[in-house]
Amino acid sequence: MTSALSFTLQQLTDAPSASGIVRRGTLQFSKKAKTIQTPACLTYTVRGSVPHLVAENVKLLPVQLLQVTLEQFVEEKEPMSFKYPHGIHKYLNLELDHLVFCDMRDPMKQEAVTFNTDKYLSVSTHGGVRQITPEMWAQAMKAYNPDMCALMADIVTDNDAKLKRIKRSVDRSLRWLDDILPKAKEIGIPVFAPVVGHTSEEERARSAVSTAERDVDGFTVNVIGLGLGNEATLKLAKASLRNLPKNKPRIVYGFGTPEGILDAVASGADLFDGSYAYKVTEQGRAMIFKFGEISADNTARDKPKTVNLWDPSMSHSFEVLDSTCGCYACNASHTKAYIHHLLNAHEMLGPILLMSHNVYQLDNFMASIRKSIDDNRFESDLTRFMEYYNHVEEGDGMRNHQDEIDVESLGTPLKKKRTLLL
């Protein structure tokens, strides 16, 4: 581990439990004297900004560690952000104490692009397909100077990939790792190595074991868009996670829902992408679920986790989204009726208020999980959560988070008629 980043596990419950191995840790950034408590969500950004929110809005939110996606900056032949002399934090106008994690591809949706080769990783930009080479990677990280970064990963995006392709992706990612790691050490930024393996448990194990042999600071595990059910996806994630060293942090992509996050926490994940907050916002919904606050004698069941602000019944509702919430929208007492009106009138303030609320709530959710682990009640809180809330259908009939996964989307705002009309 570099001196800039250290990870401490505060609690290791090795005792066999129904759900697995739950981890509670702290990520220390010595250069900035900042600490991130885990499990936590990285704040999701598109082209470096929290969707819909400008710095003044973000300042009011508990944002600490943001995920910046390199592929969203490399449309130009010579990306201008590489030439900016003051680093990515200043370029994106982040607060002094915000931390940045830079990875290659959008963690919300991995759009299939053309093939990768040993020499480059193909990525998708607003102007078409581009290539990220190890040289470009180094150039970017040197210019950006993020607080932590991920290495290039050969992620298979073809759901029908054969084993041969999967094996190649493991080998190629390792070759890239070995090629880039010295450059990364030179630049001095903590690196997270990708653990790949697609739909093969064996290859995932192999990738994890081999990657763990290298001197890296953490790992990313990717289970996005595999097209399998929750159980099968979790099984694959576990195949990666259980073969990784306990003392290093693990970021997992692809568990975008509250249930998914809880499953992954119970399987040994430390960090997640925060794209769920964005997905919920784009549906015009607000998160209202809580973790760890449901008492044992509460017999209510099938409660909805989100509120649909598009619902006509909202037009007469003059309460805030959540009276216990500290986001800008709730603090300023913006009503459901007003937010409903904004969505209905295609006004941009609607998504701004919802995004503020959902980022806050997602952070709150993670904080509750941490508290629950600290207080040794994670197992029981998890059971209560699964009993209390409906996990298949939302109050207005949305099933299985179905419209939360838009196959056409690429991390750019979903172009649905009802969302934004400028």
Partner 1 sequence: MKSALTFETYARCSTTKGRASILTLPHGPVNTPVFMPVGTQGTLKGMTPQQVKDMNCQIMLNNTYHLGLKPGQEILDEAGGSHAFQKWNGNLLTDSGGFQMVSLLKLAEITEEGVQFASPHDGSLMMLTPEHSMSLQNSIGADIMMQLDDVISSLTTGPRVEEAMWRSVRWLDRCIASHKRQDDQNLFAIIQGGLDPELRKKCVDEMVKRNTPGYAVGGLSGGEEKDQFWRIVSLCTDLLPKNKPIYCMGVGYAEDLVVCTALGVDMFDCVFPTRTARFGNALTMKGTVALKSGKHSSNFGPIEEGCDCSTCKNYTRSYIQLLVTTKDTVGCHLVSIHNVAFQLRLMREMQEAIKRDEFPAWIKQFFAGYFGDQSKYPVWAVNALQSVGVDLTA
Q: Does 342 interact with partner 1 (rule: CB under 8 A)?
A: yes
Output 128 or 227, the one with its CB closest to partner 1: 128
Is 102 among the annotated ligand-binding positions?
no
Residue 38 DSSP label: E
Q: Least distance (Å) from partner 1 to the CB of residue 91?
A: 6
Could you say which of 349, 367, 398, 405 contacts partner 1 (CB under 8 A)? 349
Question: Considering only 89-97, 164-172, 375-383, 401-409, which stretch makes contact with partner 1 by CB under 8 A?
Answer: 89-97
Q: Does 353 interact with partner 1 (rule: CB under 8 A)?
A: yes
C-alpha 275 chain-centroid distance: 5
In whole angstroms, what is the distance from residue 396 CA to residue 390 CA?
12
Which residue bears the tokens 């990666």? 240
Question: Considering only 49-57, 231-239, 251-259, 305-313, which stretch makes contact with partner 1 by CB under 8 A?
Answer: 49-57
Q: List the one residue out of 128, 140, 154 whose CA is nearest residue 70.
A: 140
Q: Least distance (Å) from partner 1 to the CB of residue 109?
A: 16
Could you say which of 7, 73, 101, 276 contacts partner 1 (CB under 8 A)? 73
Is 325 among the annotated ligand-binding positions?
yes
- Here the tokens at position 184 are 């990364």
Q: Does 87 interact with partner 1 (rule: CB under 8 A)?
A: no
Contact between residue 23 and residue 290 where contact means Cβ atoms under 8 Å apart: no
Q: Over the range 176-199, which residues count as b (16 or more CB within 10 Å of their CB) and which as e?
A: bbebbbebbeebebbbbbbbbbbb
Output 160 or 408, the one with its CB closest to partner 1: 408
Residues 289-328: x/- map of binding to partner 1 (CB under 8 A)? --------------------------xx-x---------x
Q: Does 14 interact with partner 1 (rule: CB under 8 A)?
A: no
Output 54 or 209, the one with its CB closest to partner 1: 54
Q: Does 336 interact with partner 1 (rule: CB under 8 A)?
A: no
C-alpha 179 chain-centroid distance: 27
Q: Does 215 interact with partner 1 (rule: CB under 8 A)?
A: no
- Here the tokens at position 111 are 């759009």
Considering only residues 151 to 170 of the shown chain, the ones binding partner 1 according to CB under 8 A are none
Helix segments in 20-67, DSSP class H: 55-58
Number of residues binding to partner 1, judged by CB under 8 A: 48
Helix segments in 219-327, DSSP class H: 230-241, 258-265, 275-282
Question: Considering only 84-92, 111-119, 181-189, 200-208, which stretch makes contact with partner 1 by CB under 8 A?
Answer: 84-92
Cα distances (angstroms) measured from residue 136 to each of 47, 73, 84, 285 = 18, 12, 15, 39
Contact between residue 373 and residue 21 where contact means Cβ atoms under 8 Å apart: no
Which residue bears the tokens 């595990």? 221
Is 334 among the annotated ligand-binding positions?
no
Question: Considering only 17-25, 166-174, 251-259, 343-351, which stretch makes contact with partner 1 by CB under 8 A?
Answer: 343-351
Contact between residue 274 and residue 264 where contact means Cβ atoms under 8 Å apart: no
Q: Least distance (Å) from partner 1 to the CB of residue 64?
A: 19
> For the residues of 184-228, what is the DSSP string, one character each?
HHHHT--EEEEE--TT-HHHHHHHHHHHHTS--SEEEEE-TT---
Q: Does 47 interact with partner 1 (rule: CB under 8 A)?
A: yes
Count of all residues that appear for the chain in the document: 422
- Here the tokens at position 248 are 């290093």
Q: Does 97 interact with partner 1 (rule: CB under 8 A)?
A: no
Contact between residue 220 and residue 194 where contact means Cβ atoms under 8 Å apart: yes
Is 41 among the annotated ligand-binding positions?
no
Query: Which residues bind to partner 1, rule: CB under 8 A?
Result: 46-57, 73, 76, 80-81, 83-85, 91-93, 126, 315-316, 318, 328, 332-335, 337-338, 340-342, 344-345, 347-349, 351-353, 412-413, 420, 422
Binding-site annotation: residue ranges for Zn(2+): 325, 327, 330, 357
